[in-house]
Chains A and B, each alone.
Chain A
Amino acid sequence: MTPLDIVVCVKNVPFTQDVDLVVDASGRDVRKDNLVYVVNEWDNYAVEEAVRLKEENGGTVTAVTVGGEDDEEVLRRCLAMGADEAVRIEPGNLRPDGFVTAALLAAAIAPLQHDLVLSGVQSDDLNQGVVGGLLAERLGLPHASVVDSLTVGDTGADLRIELEGGQEEVCRVPLPALLSIQTGINEPRYVSIMGIRKAAKKEIRVIEAGSLGLAPAELEPALIVEGLYLPPEAEGAAMLQGDPAALAEQIVRIMREKGVCNA
């Protein structure tokens, strides 16, 4: 069992599960002032996986994010989960999209010792899924996405990729490699408040985006948002009304009309 130096990329994203989103005045972004921020769900699984690998094999885990000072909370959470180091890339005036993020991450990670780089498949906000692949290309690492099972041996990583229709692709990747982690690969541990407070005392290394030596063209976003709009209301569904008993009555009737749930 050789120790692994693992780098995990994480993102602080708004929590929107049961929240009504409102488009802001510019029409190009969402109003975020009343949103709670949390770690991106996919990245959380990636951090848990990284920490487990470290616990099994020895080594270190470094968490990296691109974000402002408020986003340090996501790094503290990683530290509380068991990461050893945390790095924040301060974007300054940049508004990074997936491409710029990948460029910044690559520049920051390249000088670090890394046997394995993990990221989440995609982020809860923009749902793009490009950072992992772009980062792998820039770092010159083999890449696999949608990894839902991972074991690291001496010859490399044995993994399974989740395909459609319940199929999986079983494969092997030599290290160092970059893997994009799918939800459900593990059960992320609980991070206690005490743990986060203790982690607050650890130092977070901050790197200014401008100091990474990237060309201006690399810091331009690839996608330009022209407008956001809410999807059309549910014109399709006929809404049923009443208390649960009345609803049950109606549902059973509809089903029987369609030929199922027969008496």
Chain B
Amino acid sequence: MPEILVVAEHREGELREVTLQMLGKAAELCASHGLELCSVIIGDDVRKQAGELAAYCDRVIAYSDPRLAHFSAREHASILAGLLGERTPLLTLMGHSPWSLDLAPALAAKTGFPLATDCVDLLIEEGRPKAVRQIYSGKLFCRVAMKQAAGYLVTVRAGSFAAAVPSARQAEITWAPVPPAPALPLDREFVAYEDAGSGEVDICQADLLVSVGRGIGDEENIEPARQLAALMGGVLSCSRPVVDKKWLPKYHQVGTSGKTVRPRVYLALGISGAFQHVAGMSGSDTIIAVNRDKKAPIFRVADYGVVADALAVITALKARLSAERAS
């Protein structure tokens, strides 16, 4: 029976959110198109994760071996290529992540299947999968079909779909034999994981974040923002471009490659709202966004929006709060 295959992402013993979200969407597609839902997990000692997966799909295939303890795109691609050759699923889903940026293209090259990355929506039409992606850093949505092939690959953006609801039944878990390691190409050698560290300031703990982006204009405007955060009793944070320009150290960064934060109030100043940033703060209770561009993507996620120059607003806020303190 034709099936959809979900590649489970996991790290340090836990299934990642995106895995459950993929299973949720896949389940929906399977139900409406009469497909089976299968998931695959690769790693070392994944008994627990495999057991979890069993509540969300029709079949679980697990590959377990000590040499698979750390993610290796080469190993994964080799194993999955074999699996896809055997099972020929209609559609294979992976989460969009730094790891899949390595894995997905390698798998596409090995299998010859087309690949659509960072998809925010999926559908099946005329028996073929189609995807919706964002282009031009979120300014436009693009619906794509994929060229005719024996199978199709997509990577899915985290947060695009609702997580799956576990069912009562437990799927059958197949412990597949792990094929020998591929000889070529030579692999990269894992050395260690390192944390960027919380630094002097842990933005994850704050109730109020005053967050600055590229729209702040100049490095010298960081200090007024910092002072504003202090006046407000909040903490200074920022988006990626600010760290790239070395205006602030990395531990201030909110976003997929920085920290995920859930403050009560998130004040975004001069931040455009590219997905990678929004993913890190969309869980905030209240988002107030200030940006000069009324079409900035941030206004889609914000609760309150201000079309104005970030610096002018910072100055006005500081004046307001200083005056209050003085009186």
User: A residues within 8 Å of B by Cβ?
Assistant: 14, 16, 18, 20-21, 23, 30, 99, 102, 121, 124-134, 136-138, 140-146, 160-174, 177, 180, 183-184, 187, 220-232, 234, 236-240, 244-245, 247-249, 251-252, 254-255, 258-263
Contacts and interface: CB of A to CB of B under 8 A. Distances in A.
B1 interface: no
B98 A146 contact: yes
Interface in B43-76: 73-74
Contacts of A262: 233
B184 A133 contact: no
A244 B208 contact: no
A143 B76 CA distance: 13
A245 B192 CA distance: 50
Given A140-B185, A167-B194, A234 B147 contact: no
B117 A166 contact: no
B305 interface: yes
10 closest A-B pairs (Cβ-Cβ)? A133-B105, A137-B109, A222-B114, A237-B305, A234-B299, A244-B316, A166-B196, A184-B244, A248-B316, A145-B101
B112 to A, nearest CB: 9
Contacts of B89: none
Contacts of B189: 171-173
A145 B257 contact: no
Interface of B: 73-74, 97-99, 101-106, 108-110, 114-118, 130, 133-147, 184-197, 207-208, 232-234, 240, 243-244, 246, 250-251, 253, 256-260, 264-265, 267, 285-286, 288-289, 293, 295, 297, 299-308, 312-313, 315-317, 319-321, 324
Given A20-B295, A167-B196, A244-B316, 7 more contacts: A16-B139, A124-B136, A133-B109, A166-B257, A224-B144, A248-B317, A261-B265
B187 A142 contact: yes
A173 B102 CA distance: 14
Contact of A228 (B141, B256, B299): B141
A165 B321 CA distance: 33
A161 B115 CA distance: 23
Nearest to B293: A18
A133 B117 CA distance: 12
B136 A247 contact: no
Contact of B308 (A163, A230, A244): A244
Q: Which of B98, B256, B260, B324 has the most CB of A within 10 A?
A: B98
A239 B147 CA distance: 43
A187 B241 CA distance: 12
B196 A168 contact: yes
24 contacts: A16-B139, A30-B140, A99-B115, A127-B137, A133-B102, A133-B103, A137-B105, A137-B106, A141-B185, A142-B185, A228-B141, A230-B141, A231-B138, A236-B301, A239-B306, A239-B307, A240-B306, A244-B312, A251-B313, A251-B317, A255-B232, A259-B264, A260-B207, A260-B234
B73 A258 contact: no
A261 to B, nearest CB: 4
Nearest to B297: A231
B289 A237 contact: yes
Contact of A127 (B109, B134, B316): B134
A234 B300 contact: yes
Nearest to B194: A168
A144 B140 contact: no
B136 A125 contact: yes
Contacts of B102: 133, 143-145
Contacts of A231: 134, 138-141, 297, 300
Contacts of A142: 74, 185-188
Given A128-B117, A224-B146, A251 B306 contact: yes
Contacts of B307: 239
B141 A137 contact: no
Contacts of A141: 185
A255 B324 CA distance: 15
A234 B234 contact: no
A23 B140 CA distance: 9
Contacts of A221: 147
Contacts of B145: 223-224, 226
A224 B147 contact: yes
Nearest to B299: A234
Contacts of A144: 102, 188
Contact of A134 (B108, B118, B253): B108
